[in-house]
Amino acid sequence: MLRILSALVFSVLFLTASSFSQSESTYKPVKEFDPSRNPAEDVKEAAIEAQSTNKRIILDVGGDWCIWCHRLDDFIKKNEEINNFLHKNFILVKINFSKENKNEEFLSKYPEIPSYPHFFVLEKNGELLHSQNTGELEQDKGYSKEKMMTFLKNWAP
């Protein structure tokens, strides 16, 4: 009887721990420039995730219309070192800026954006730390791995 009771207690504890670890994070990353999204809510949710994972937040402001936004996405995907470092240290949140929705009210809280894409680095609580013109990270018709890595390392937590 003691074995059965012990097995039952162990099973309950195991199932409870398993369900807790699976439901620990319900954060869904914002990976697309979507005019229908609420960026204030997206940043609020990213801040919760950033605090629980000890990461900072990068707001990637741009749109599907922006060729350099697509080049930036491709650059990050194709550079394993950049991609891994970025996602290990930051929560990346795409903020749409387009004819359909310029998100002017939300973006008015941040410094002026000279060109797109544009990065805003936020502390894990959502406080602005840095405004980055991504044009400074370009090289030829793409981005510089060295400049991008320097930028990321400078602002990693």
* Residues 64/121, Cβ–Cβ less than 8 Å: no
pLDDT digits (tens, 9 = 90+) for 88-125: 999 999 999 999 999 999 999 999 999 999 999 999 99
**Domain for residue 8, yes or no?**
no
Residue 148 sits in a domain whose CATH number is: 3.40.30.10
DSSP structural state of residue 149 = H
pLDDT digits (tens, 9 = 90+) for 6-50: 444 344 334 444 444 444 668 999 999 999 999 999 999 999 999
Cα distance from N-terminal residue to C-terminal residue, the chain: 52
Overall number of domains in the chain: 1
* Residues 141/71, Cβ–Cβ less than 8 Å: yes
Query: Which range of residues forms the domain containing residue 119?
Result: 29-155
Max Cα–Cα distance, the chain, nearest Å? 74
